[in-house]
Amino acid sequence: MLNQLKTKIILQIVSYGKMKNRKAQLKIKQMTFMLIAVTLFFALVGMFVLVIKFSDIREAATELEERNAMLLVSKLANSPEFSCGGAFDTPRLNCIDADKVMILRQHIEKYNDFWGVSNIEIRKIYPAANSEILCTLENYPNCNIIRLRSKEIIGADLSNFISLCRKEPYEGDYYNKCELARIMVSYEEK
């Protein structure tokens, strides 16, 4: 009888220990799940933050290029390398001396990275020509596109209206002739 009681007590202790172990296991499982979920969550958030950051850096670079081009295109016509200055009677705003630009074109390699854009182009708008003729020293002024660098305009571009002036010969003399044109500044998209 005493032995039976002892055995019963021992069995009860063992089963209590088993139950306690199971509870602990369950808690460990619970914690593992939570840890996995939290790690996954932070990993995902981190990944998205990184993706957005990197795309932002690229976008910011393009945006800076665009802003630079925009500021440049709105100011370029009044810079000393392009502006008419006092060559056409009175000082004029947004006036580009075409003769000066044609000479600048010949020495453009000295201006590499000076404006920080990939190319600058001047296109006559009015009077309009039937075809696009690139200006060279041989065909000038019977042309309608002055490209500062010989390469094509690539990437995005921004443009602004300008007055393109030159000295036009007339019966052994010269007079000021101004036409309407657009100055185009191109920048590379990152």
Burial (CB count <10 Å: 0-12, 13-18, 19+), residue 45:
exposed
3 state DSSP class of 160: strand
Give me the least distance between CB of 31 and other proteins, in Å please: 10
98 vs 96: CA distance, rounded Å: 6
**Residue whose CB is less far from other proteins, 81 or 179:** 179
Give me the least distance between CB of 46 and other proteins, in Å please: 11
**Residue whose CB is less far from other proteins, 22 or 151:** 22
96's CB contacts (< 8 A; 6+ apart) are: 77, 82, 83, 84, 122, 162, 163, 164, 165, 181, 183
**Residue whose CB is less far from other proteins, 92 or 147:** 92
Give me the least distance between CB of 126 and other proteins, in Å please: 5
2's CB contacts (< 8 A; 6+ apart) are: none
64's CB contacts (< 8 A; 6+ apart) are: none
Give me the least distance between CB of 148 and other proteins, in Å please: 19
**Binding site residues, other proteins, CB under 8 A:** 23, 26, 29-30, 33-34, 37-38, 40-41, 44-45, 48-49, 51-52, 55-56, 59, 63, 66, 70, 73-74, 77, 92-95, 125-126, 128, 158-163, 165, 168, 170-171, 173, 175-181
Give me the least distance between CB of 136 and other proteins, in Å please: 24
**Residue whose CB is less far from other proteins, 34 or 103:** 34
**Residue whose CB is less far from other proteins, 92 or 105:** 92
Closest CA to 121 of 154, 93, 99: 154
Two structure tokens written together for 185? 């500044």
